[in-house]
Structure 1
Amino acid sequence: MLFPRERRVLAPGAVHVPDWLDLDQQRRLVVACREWAGEGPGIRAAVLPNGGRMTVRAVCLGWHWYPYRYSRTRDDQDGSPVTAFPEWLGDLGRTALADAYGEHRDYHPDIALINHYDADARMGLHRDGDEAAPDPVVSLSIGAPCLFRLGNTETRGRPWTDVELHSGDLVVFGDESRLAYHGVPKLLPAVDVPDTGLAAGRLNITLRVSGLR
């Protein structure tokens, strides 16, 4: 990067913090994600109710997400128990939230959704509305850059804000923006991507509070 990127408030309650993860943290997360993706039935592309298959591949910790619900077992795979959510990842999420908002909050995520995007993958505009708690979502990016689109809370249409996310970036959205539509229209050319140990594509790790029993 020729010029440093600045912290940016994308919308009330939504904050982008560039280069939040240092390279060692990114590498450790890549190693952990590779281990999680290999456990049990492994990483998969979820099938939507209309029969379509998502273009991103995902693995879950704590609670298993499949359209559009959570379970303690991998119900759309082999029914095996979902991998436990590690406490150290919760610590990372609390630090991320405090840095983004400039204040400490009582934040105890118990879900991690780990999405892998290859060059042709994308994520349509959607809301993270399957949780039963209003706590913010913490989102970490590793690998190839992408165009991230943060919309409004009412429709999938405009107004929205587009921002480039690069390896190590943090996005937090909560409060007024907790149920904002958001998505990834495309990955961007992989120029000056740090050596994180990720062979190709982009990893997105989102931490959430389920509010479920």
Structure 2
Amino acid sequence: MDGELFPRERAEVAPGAVHLPDWLGPRRQRELLAACREWARPPAGLRTVRTPGGGTMTARQVCLGLHWYPYGYARTAVDGDGAPVKPMPGWLAELGRRAVADAGDVAGAAAGTLEPGEEYDIALVNFYGGDSRMGMHRDAEERSTAPVVSLSLGDTCLFRFGNTVSRGRPYRDVELRSGDLFVFGGPGRLAFHGVPKVLPGTGPPGLGLTGRLNITLRVGGLGP
């Protein structure tokens, strides 16, 4: 937020979990938003995710590289239109690599690293409306232990980062704004996390987005 009294600082909010405010500048945010809008178009576009118990997630999703569904990966949109998943762009994978390097400047090895030859090959793009939520969960379907990279666009959200044992306390709530980066790896790679609240109308006016987009980058380690 422009003109605030105390600028937000880069911080390790839990072992292996790093928050880097304003990591994406306004122009890069607009470029990423334009890309998200293209990815959201059919085929294999934005969809409502249904859980095995018959419920639906309030955040809608589109995937790149591999298609995530509860609880696994496929090369086609198996719970959508069945089309082949869109490819993971090289520039987005490189953005993930840069994010991990910057997080390491804050937390060192605690934030985790990429193994030689590893590249970000999966992206989950979640769209949150004003009343959307995301329950506490772990990103546990990957074989790689590479850090998870999370980028925020649009409305501010309350991001809850917890522990590796349960969905309950202890956890820490962090305000993620448009352009913020959050990386978690090392001892925090399998921590439970979620989004209990989105704050409608808090996104940058010049971005042109109503709601919130979260782009999560992962290394699958799942083979060909």
* TM-score, length of structure 2 as denominator length: 0.91
For 2:203 and 2:148, locate their aligned partners in 1 and report how far apart those are by CA, in whole Å: 27
1:127 counterpart letter in structure 2: R
What residue ranges of structure 2 are gaps of 5+ in the alignment? Answer: none
1:7 counterpart letter in structure 2: R
CA RMSD for the aligned pairs? 1.3
Q: Is 2:196 aligned against 1:193? A: no
2:201 aligned counterpart, secondary structure: coil
Q: 1:207 — aligned with what?
A: 217
- The CA deviation at 1:197 is 2.8
Deviations 1:102-158 (A, max 9, x none): 267445110000000000100000000011111100000000000000000000010
Runs (4+) off by over 2 Å? 103-107, 189-194
Tell me how many residue pairs correspond in the alignment: 212
What residue ranges of structure 1 are gaps of 5+ in the alignment? Answer: none
Deviations 1:64-101 (A, max 9, x none): 00100100111112221100001000111111110111
Distance 1:36 1:166, change over 3 A: same
For 1:210 and 1:100, locate their aligned partners in 2 and report how far apart those are by CA, in whole Å: 20
Q: 1:181 — aligned with what?
A: 192
Deviations 1:26-71 (A, max 9, x none): 0000000000000304201110000001000000000000100100
Q: 1:109 — aligned with what?
A: 120
8 A contact 1:98–1:105 mirrored in 2: no
- The CA deviation at 1:194 is 4.3
* TM-score, length of structure 1 as denominator length: 0.96
Q: 2:93 — aligned with what?
A: 90
* Aligned partner of 2:131 among 120, 124, 138: 120
8 A contact 1:138–1:170 mirrored in 2: yes
* Aligned partner of 1:44 among 19, 44, 47: 47
Matches within 5 A, 1:1-213: 1=1, 2=4, 3-102=6-105, 105-106=114-115, 107-191=118-202, 193-198=204-209, 200-213=210-223
For 2:11 and 2:149, locate their aligned partners in 1 and report how far apart those are by CA, in whole Å: 15
